[in-house]
Amino acid sequence: MDSLTFSVGPTERWVVLGANGAGKTTLLKLAAAQIQPSSGSATLLGQRLGEVNVFELRTRIGFASSALAAQIPNSETVLNAVMTASYGITGRWNEEYDSIDERRARRVLGEWELSNFEDRAFGTLSDGERKRVQIARSVMTDPELLLLDEPVASLDLAARELTLQLLSGYAQATEAPAMVMVTHHLEEIPPGFTHALLMQ
């Protein structure tokens, strides 16, 4: 990416479009504090990258991507896959969760129509179910910024329509955070998104 100025307001819902190699995923990784800019500067939620603890900053940002999903152990239950977002990790280890964490995770699973899957192993889910688990995980911590990297890519028609319907409802909710969604296709833009960035 070169010479990009991009700002997202707290109530804005952005879709980022562009061809392969345009820098869409790189932009999202930067916005998720996963990488640092090689030149220029990036300020996320009022904090300038390079001058802030990125591990603390990441807890304020929800991020769903296929690369992150690949880090979730196949044997992890759906409930744990969502709940571990509270600690910014992708699988249970020795951390302790309380009933508030479990209630929150179950509520989020319900919002994304995943209540019946909480005891299922992540590795047994369909692509559409995995994508919804990723989104549920990304909103577990009530983020101030939600980043979605191609949340309906490679889904069959039914799974895509369900996910887009749920995303649309979420985008139109007044309590939803600022959102940025990357996609290749105009038909994958859910109602409720307010702005677009075309990267070339």
pLDDT at 107: 94
- The string of pLDDT tens digits covering residues 24-49 is 988 999 999 888 888 888 889 998 89
pLDDT tens string 112-157 = 999 999 999 999 999 889 999 999 999 998 999 999 999 998 888 9
CB 98 within 8 A of CB 80: no
pTM, 2 dp: 0.89
CA pair distance 15, 41, nearest whole angstrom: 22
Buried b / exposed e over 26-47, threshold 16 CB at 10 Å, is bbbbbbbbbeeeeeeebebbeb
Structural domains in the chain? 13-199 (3.40.50.300)
* Beta pairing partners, 18: 199
pLDDT digits (tens, 9 = 90+) for 154-168: 888 998 999 999 999
Q: Which amino acid is at 192?
A: G
Q: For position 87, what pLDDT does the model report?
A: 67
